[in-house]
Amino acid sequence: MTPALPAGSRDLRVQAAAVAAAFMLNGLSFGIWAARIPAVKAQTGLDEAGLGFALLGASVGAVLTMTFGGWLGSKFGTHVMTPLTAVGCAVMTVFIGASSNFASLTISLLIFGVCQGTMDVSMNANGIAVEHAGSGPIISRLHASWSIGAFVGALVSTQVAAFGIPVLPEFAVAAVGLAIGGVLLRFTMLPDRHAEGGGRLRLPTGPLVLLGALALCGLMAEGSATDWSGVYLQRTMNASEGLAGLAVTTFTGSMAVARLAGDRLSLRLGSARLVSGGAALAAVGLALALAAQIPVVAIVGFGMMGLGLAAVVPTLFRAAGSQPGIPASVGIAAVSTMGYAGGLIGPPVIGTLATAVTLRGSLLIILVMLAILTVGGRRALTRREP
C-alpha cells in the first residue's frame, strides 16, 4: 500500500478528519435505520421470524462481499470506494424506507449490507493509510467516531419517530444529507491505491488466519453482549425493562468512550498488551456479570466488558492492514470477513444453547472466546511489535 503523494501536516489533518467523517457517516446511516426497525416491521406487516430473516440479509450481504470489497479498494483506491459506497448506503436507506413486504425489505437490506460492508473495509484501510502517512495511531478514534455516529443517528431517528413522522420521508431527507457527505469525502480523503493497481482476491492465510480468528472472538463477544446482556438481566434477575436496557447502554457507551483513548494506550502499552489486557479485563467483567445476582453489579460487569473490548477489533484491523506485501484493504477485508462472521453467528449460537442449558451457561462460551483473545492476542501481536 502506498499513498499517492506524501501529504503535508495540514493536508494530513484534513484527510484524518475526512476518514473520521466517513466512519461517522457509516454509523449515522446504521443508527438512523436501526432506530426505526419497529416502524419498518409494522409497515411491512412482518412477524418476528420474518423480520429476523430480513435483518439477516444485511449481515449476509456485508460478510459475503467484504473480500471482494477489499479487492475493489486496492484496485480503484479506498478514497474512491469509500465515497461511492457511502452514497450507496444513502440510496438504499430510501429503498428500505419504501419497503412494503418481506421481499422488498430483504433485497434492500441485502444491498444495504453490501454497501455497508464494502465501505467498512475501505474506510478502515484508508485510516491505516493515514496512519502510515504520518498521522500516528488514529484507528481506535475512528471506531469511536462510528459509535458516536450510530448513537446520534439513533437518537435523532427516535425523536423523529416521536413526532409521528413516517419512515420514508425521514429516510429520504437523511439520504440527501448522507449522499452529500459521501460526495464531499471524494475530495478530502487521502488518495490510497495499491502501487500495482490492485491486489488479487485473497482468502485469509498465514498470519491473517490468526488475526481473523481473534477478530471472530472479539466481534462474537461484542455481538453477544449487545444482544443478550439486557435479556440476561431480565431472565436471571427479573430486572425491569429499563434496568435491563441500561446493561446494553452501559456496554456500548463504555466502549465508545474507551475507544477515544485507545490510540494513546496503543502507543503506551503496545498492541499486544492492549489486546491481551483488554480481553482479560472483558473476561473479568463478564465473569462478574455472570456470578452476580444483583442487577447493578451485573451492569458494572458489562461496562467493564465494554471497556476491555473497545480497542481489540481496531487494533486487530490495524495489524491486518499492516501486513508486508498485502494492500491494507485486502488484509482488512480478509480479517474482517472472519471477524464479522463471528458477530453474525455469535448471538444465534448463544440463543440456541440457552434453550438447551441456561442463558448463564451459554454465555460461558464468550468467556472461552475472551480467554483465547487474552493468550492469542499477545502471541499474534508481539511478533509485530518493534
Q: Which domains occur in the chain, in start order?
A: 2-193 (1.20.1250.20), 207-382 (1.20.1250.20)
- Flag whether pLDDT at 385 surpasses 60: no
Cβ-proximal residues to 69 (8 Å cutoff; 6+ apart), any chain: 81, 85, 117, 118, 119, 121, 122, 329, 333
**Model confidence at 242: pLDDT above 70:** no
pLDDT digits (tens, 9 = 90+) for 309-352: 998 999 998 888 888 878 777 888 888 888 887 777 776 777 77
User: What is the separation, in whole angstroms, between the first and last Cα of the chain?
Assistant: 20
Inform me whether the pLDDT recorded for 142 exceeds 70.
yes
| pLDDT category of residue 8 using cuts at 50, 70 and 90 | low
Query: What is the per-residue pLDDT across 156-172, written as a single tens digit (0 to 9) for each?
Result: 887 888 888 999 999 99
pTM for this one? 0.78
What are the pLDDT digits (tens) for 270-304?
A: 889 999 999 999 999 999 999 988 999 999 999 99
Mean pLDDT (whole number) for 199-204 = 52
**Residue 197 has what pLDDT?**
42
Most confident of 9-23, 52-66, 222-236: 9-23
Q: How confident is the model at residue 2 (pLDDT cuts 50, 70, 90)?
A: very low
Question: What is the average pLDDT value for the chain, to the nearest integer?
Answer: 85
Q: Got the DSSP string for 282-299?
A: HHHHHHHHHH--SHHHHH
Residue 240 has pLDDT above 60, yes or no: yes
Question: pLDDT band for position 3 (50/70/90)?
Answer: very low
In b/e form, how buried is each residue of 126-162, taking b as 16+ CB within 10 angstroms? Answer: bbbbbbbbebebbbbbbbbbbbbbbbebbebbeebbe
C-alpha–C-alpha distance, residues 160 and 43, integer Å: 16
> Which distant-in-sequence residues (6+ apart) come within 8 Å of 316 by Cβ?
211, 214, 215, 218, 275, 335, 339, 377
Picking from 224, 6, 298, the residue whose alpha carbon sits closest to that of residue 135 is 6
Tell me the Ramachandran region of residue 198: left when phi exceeds 0, alpha when psi lies from -120 to 50, beta otherwise: left
